[in-house]
Amino acid sequence: MILKDFLMMRHEILLTVVAMLILMMEIGWKKEERCSIKIISTILFFIITVVGFLPIETGVLFGGMYHTTDLIITCKNILNIGVLIIFIQSSQWLKMEANSDKTSEYFLLIISTLIGMNFMISSGDFLMFYIGLELATIPAAALAALELTKNKSGEAGIKLILSSALSSGILLYGLSMIYGTTGSIYFSDVMAAMSQSSLQVLAFIFFFAGMAFKISLVPFHLWTADVYEGAPINVTSFLSVISKGAAVFILTILLFTVFQPIVHLWHNVIFAISILTMTVGNLFAIRQTNIKRFLAFSSIAQAGFILLGIMGDNTFGFATIIYFVLIYIFSNLGAFGVAAAISNITGKENIQDYNGLYQTNPRLSLTMMLSLFSLAGIPPVAGFFGKFFLFTAAFQHGYYLLVFIAVVNTIISLYYYLLIVKAMFINKSDQPIQHFNNDFMTRLGLIICVIGMIVIGFASPILEYLNKLSF
């Protein structure tokens, strides 16, 4: 293997290099110099994101274990954009007394999970897939427990690691059955040997259960609310957007390639789980009072919507999924960004505390409103376009009832999103949250989200480009 081929792994190599740099800065520099680690890491990551968009060769490495195509590179770039926004938004949280000495750990852990996700998406066989999956999961648990002084954070970390371990184990059991029945772990070989033997169906069920955990589908969603509530808010936004997005990407790739021969089987599974997830997520979100739990259940419902894209044609369905995840990144990070700004400065996380927010912090309220409307799927923000195309994808194969239920769920979700809008704009409060100014980085993060939400829907070249990508 020559160096030129090795450079196909540009994303992973750059991430590893930056991770090493951060580690060396942490170890080598004195305490006073370490305060610049935050800004240096963010700038380095920005460079990685930009470099990621430069054209790159595609091909196969390590004898088939690693393969990249334009589609996979697009997925990785989208995840990079998301993590960049999260880094920008984290700057306020990292400035706080209790957190400033954990800066380099924070960056290292997130970059580690991102490396894992990149390998997972580029995998060509189940071993690389599993390595990537584990690398993406374990640092996330450490991230969830990062606020060492709070009980809830530790609880979140333990819940996340234990449930991840269990679901990984089940997934591995399924993979072992696939190996047992097909004699290979390479995707191409498995695809050729896939038939409908009962052991393979069982393997698929276990595999799907493990992945469904990662995406927080019902009934594997029970960890979501507690972990999201306990973890620091920027870690929550990371889990809800990036972790979920990466798992969705690889699940879709595997369903459309490896498990394609049993498509009529998993179409029914996805049908049922999609309906369950949307409905349960929406119904539980209505009663939430904590903004983080609220956004957790809303993320569960959104994951149900994403499954609709899987019911469409291969190219178009995947294009709509990627498009939706991109829009979902901007919308969700917008909502979490506002919640994080309020939580970091005032410590308030209850929806009741948001009453009358428009009077004191109009721009924050407007950003939150735009994000919520985007999540609900109301024009003219991008969320409308994302949801509409997902429905179109599901309609392609005649799943009228599914689309109908999905649209009804959109209405239900609109109800609880409007509850927050009501709190901010309509409800009056004796003690609304005081007006506060955000620092430059927070504002930048929120502005990026707002611009993304407004522009992406109308910019048709994005969807056109995604449609042209193929497996």
Partner 1 sequence: MMNFNLNLFVLIPFLTIIAIMMCRNNKQVRLTAAFGMSIQLIMAAILVFTYLHVRNLGDTAEMLFTQDYAWFSMPNIHYAIGVDGISVAMIALTSIVVFAGIFASWEVEFLSKEFFISLILLSTGVFGFFISLDLFTMFLFYELAVIPMYLLIGIWGSGPKEYSAMKLTLMLMGGSAFLLVGLLGIYFTTATASGNFSFNIIELSKGHMPVEMQRIFFPLTFLGFGVLGALFPFHTWSPDGHASAPTAVSMLHAGVLMKLGGYGCFRVAMFLMPQAAQELSWIFLILTTISVVYGAFGAIMQKDLKYINAYSSVSHCGLVLFAILMINKTAMDGAIIQMISHGIMTALFFALIGMIYGRTHTRLINEMGGLMKVMPFLSVCYVIAGLASLGLPGFSGFVAEMTIFVGSFQNPDTFHRVMTIIACSSIVITAVYILRVVGILLLGPIKNPHFDHLGDAKWYERVSTITLISAITAIGIAPLWLSDMIGISLRPVFEKLLAHL
Site residues for partner 1 per CB under 8 A = 316, 319, 373, 378-380, 384, 388-389, 391-392, 395-396, 400, 403-404, 407-408, 410-411, 414-415, 418, 421-422, 425-426, 460, 463-464, 467
User: Which is nearest to 218 in space by CA: 300, 285, 160, 294?
Assistant: 300
Nearest to 291 by CA among 365, 228, 381, 360: 228
Instruction: Answer yes or no: are the C-beta atoms of 38 and 94 closer than 8 Å.
Output: yes
- Residue closer to partner 1 (CB basis): 250 or 402: 402
Please give the structure tokens belonging to residue 348: 């308030």
Task: Please list the alpha-helical segments (H only) found in 145-197.
Answer: 151-182, 187-193
Shortest distance, position 209 Cβ to partner 1, whole Å = 31
Handedness of CA 470, 393, 413, 436 (dihedral sign): positive
Backbone φ/ψ region at 399: left (φ over 0), alpha (ψ -120 to 50), beta: beta
Minimum CB separation of residue 260 from partner 1 in Å reads: 21
Which is nearer to partner 1, 153 or 413 (by Cβ)?
A: 413
Task: Judge whether 96 and 153 are in contact, CB under 8 Å.
Answer: no
How many other β-carbons are positioned within 10 Å of the β-carbon of residue 149?
7
Q: How far is the CB of 155 from partner 1 (least distance, A)?
A: 35
Nearest to partner 1 of 249, 391 (CB atom): 391
State the minimum distance, in angstroms, from the CB of residue 291 to partner 1: 20
Measured from the CB of residue 466, what is the shortest distance to partner 1 in angstroms? Answer: 10
- Calculate the alpha carbon distances from 449 to 69, 338, 459, 466 in Å: 28, 11, 15, 21
Q: Output the six-digit token pair for 124.
A: 């060509």
Smallest gap, in angstroms, from Cβ of residue 74 to partner 1? Answer: 17
Q: Which of residues 34 and 267 has its CB atom nearest to partner 1 in the complex?
A: 267
| Closest to partner 1 by CB, 336 or 373 | 373
Q: Which is nearer to partner 1, 188 or 392 (CB)?
A: 392
Query: What is the total residue count of the chain?
Result: 471
Query: Which of 326, 295, 269, 244 has the alpha carbon at shortest distance from 77?
Result: 326
Q: CB-wise, 164 or 252, nearer to partner 1?
A: 252
Q: How far is the CB of 301 from partner 1 (least distance, A)?
A: 15
State which residue, 199 or 408, has the beta carbon closest to partner 1.
408
Query: In terms of DSSP H, where are the helices of 287-313?
Result: 291-310
Specify the residue, 120 or 462, whose C-beta has the smaller distance to partner 1.
462
- Other CB atoms within 10 Å distance of the CB of residue 10: 18
* Shortest Å distance, C-beta 199 to partner 1: 38
Q: Are 295 and 236 in contact (CB under 8 A)?
A: yes
Closer by beta carbon to partner 1, 415 or else 471: 415
Count of beta carbons in the 10 Å neighbourhood of residue 54: 7
- Min dist CB 319 to partner 1, Å, is 8
Rounded to 10 degrees, the C-alpha dihedral 37/41/43/45 comes to: 180
**Checking phi first, is residue 30 left (phi over 0); if not, alpha (psi -120 to 50) or beta?**
beta
- Tell me how far, at minimum, the Cβ of 410 lies from partner 1, in Å: 7
C-beta of 226: minimal distance to partner 1 in Å? 29
Least distance (Å) between residue 455 CB and partner 1: 14
- For residues 180-214, one letter each, b for 16 or more C-beta atoms within 10 angstroms of the residue's C-beta and e for the rest, the string is ebbeebbbeebeeebeeeeebeebbbbbbbbbbbb
Q: Which is nearer to partner 1, 144 or 466 (CB)?
A: 466
The answer to whether residues 208 and 268 touch, using CB atoms and an 8 Å cutoff, is: no
Nearest to 300 by CA among 317, 283, 287: 283
**Nearest to partner 1 of 187, 373 (CB atom):** 373
